Chains A and B, each alone.
Chain A
Amino acid sequence: MTLPKTANAVIIGGGIQGCSIAYHLAKLGMKDVVVLEQNTMCSGSSGRCGAGIRAQWGTEMNCRFGLACVEMFEHLEEELGMDCGLHQGGYLLVAYQEAEFEQLKKNMKLQNSLGVDTKVISYDEAREICPGLSADDAVGFTYHARDGHADPMLTTFAYQEAAKRLGVQFYKFTRCTDVKTLNGKVAGVTTNHGDIDTPVVVNAAGGYSQQVAKMAGIELPCFSERHEIIITEPVEQGVCPPMLMSFSGNYYIQQRPHGSIIGGCSPEGHPEDYENGNSWGFLEKMSQTITSLLPRTRGVRVVRQWSGLYNMTPDRQPIMCEADTVKGFFLSVGYSGHGFMFGPVSGELLAQKILGREPWISIEQLHYNRFEKGELIIEPAVV
């Protein structure tokens, strides 16, 4: 493999962010864009995620991002020329505590004011949307029909393939080991396969964002949590048509169009060891959660468990900006578990920022200097 000696932009990370940013940069006319991935494309958090796409959020910015993403996913196949496995069965949010239900209703008001058609539904209606649901202890439900899920791997590869057609070069098994700077500006990168001179470097390193930022001399308050997930053998459709999710219940469960049921939750302790390990405890707990919510799944077999990293920020909102201290060093990190669903939109917004255009949704608030200033944008609606 021979890396180019120079590029107009080098993107570190071949996940949804890196591939989407690369595609949008090329689409907006930038030439010589290079994506570096330490493993294979989509091998990190994007390819390991729960696949959900939703507009049911608790902050104005996330509602706008979420709705824009839903709309973008609805047209992604035409845009990229590849099926991305979109399934819009809605997100059915389940509240088990009065205060939690109040928060969901407050979120719904905000969502409705921004064009997101979320509604409160009864237990009977919930059971029509999700037949066989057993949630007698729930106090309330909200539902947004346009939410859903897509295939994170096909979506990332669709961006990669579309970007390749526009001339973007992708290098796998290529690990960035240093970001070179000169007079407060980006000068290039060093990798295990050689150096590339470039005026623009994008940190889209997902779970490794804080390590890549450090290469440019920037300390990010991000950390990476391991989250686990299981998938079953494919069964007949209709077992779990919506994305069934609860913040206090600590779960999300969905059925992909090919029939497999996927379930995940936040693990206790959140190991921060960069190991995508698996635990027996999770397998047992998740199986209990799925079978108690959907009792008819007892005979469905689990075929695989895996894990991935949530790149967390203090307010669970992403960091999208250009570094103050190093011009030409851009970041699209810290998605705190919702990087896949935001990828199509965040890639476009960051590409606009890199090219000196005005992002069509403002990302001013998402600079990492908000943490020093204490201007956090805390998102209440995260599993």
Chain B
Amino acid sequence: MANTRDEIIICRCEEVTLGEIREWIAKGYDTFDELKRVLRVGMGPCQGRGCRDLILREISKMTGKRVDEIPPGRFRPPSKPVKLGVLAKGGNDE
């Protein structure tokens, strides 16, 4: 099922293509968190802001499930990348 669309990069942080995502959904990795663990989608600095919806839609297309039936995956802190040096200074002295 080679398709030129397979070359499209869906997760820009980790450079994961639509083709790779489709390949793993076909192997049964049909939740966001499974794809995250096997392909690193959503593990980069944007934490899935760019790719999560696109991937959930692709899972929906391939499995026939509605998007709201697919586990959306965990959101982990911090919500935006923060420098180690800033975190090391602590949060109480301003």
Contact = CB atoms under 8 A, between A and B. Distances in A.
A310 interface: no
A327 to B, nearest CB: 33
B84 A287 contact: yes
Would you call the interface of chain A mostly helix, strand, loop, or mixed? mixed
B43 A300 contact: no
A235 B40 CA distance: 16
A305 B78 contact: yes
A101 B37 CA distance: 37
B42 to A, nearest CB: 10
Interface string B79-94: 0011111011011000
B33 interface: yes
A304 B73 CA distance: 14
Contact of A278 (B27, B28, B38, B76): B76
Interface string B27-38: 110010110011
Contacts of B77: 278, 283, 304-305
Contacts of B76: 278, 304-306
Interface of B, secondary structure class, is loop
Contacts of A304: 43, 47, 76-78
Contact of A303 (B28, B34, B81, B88): B81
Nearest to B75: A304
Contact of A291 (B28, B40, B81, B84): B84
A258 B14 CA distance: 9
Category for how many chain B residues contact A: 20 to 34
A173 to B, nearest CB: 9
B82 A302 contact: yes
A258 B11 CA distance: 15
Contact of B38 (A157, A292, A303): A157
A43 B33 contact: yes
Contacts of B85: 287, 291, 297-299
Contact of B83 (A40, A154, A300): A300
A288 B47 contact: no
Contact of A287 (B34, B43, B44, B88): B88
A153 B84 contact: no
A281 to B, nearest CB: 10
B50 interface: no
A284 B92 CA distance: 11
A290 B84 contact: yes
A337 interface: no
B34 A41 contact: yes
Interface string B52-81: 000000000000000000000000111001
A166 interface: no
Q: Which of A231, A278, A287, A290 has the most CB of B within 10 A?
A: A287
A170 B30 CA distance: 14
Nearest to B24: A157
A47 B35 CA distance: 13
Contact of B78 (A291, A292, A300, A302): A302
A28 B29 CA distance: 26
Contacts of A280: 91
A263 to B, nearest CB: 9
Nearest to B46: A303
B91 A233 contact: no
A9 B3 CA distance: 41
Given A284-B91, A304-B76, A40 B34 contact: yes
Given A40-B34, A280-B91, A303 B84 contact: no
> Which 5 A/B pairs are nearest by Cβ-Cβ distance?
A298-B85, A301-B81, A287-B87, A153-B37, A287-B88
Interface of A: 40-43, 47, 153-154, 157, 161, 170, 231-234, 258, 278, 280, 283-284, 287-288, 290-292, 297-306
18 contacts: A40-B33, A43-B33, A153-B38, A157-B37, A231-B43, A278-B76, A284-B88, A287-B85, A288-B88, A298-B83, A299-B84, A300-B83, A301-B81, A301-B83, A302-B83, A303-B81, A304-B76, A305-B78
Interface of B: 27-28, 31, 33-34, 37-38, 40, 43-45, 47, 76-78, 81-85, 87-88, 90-91
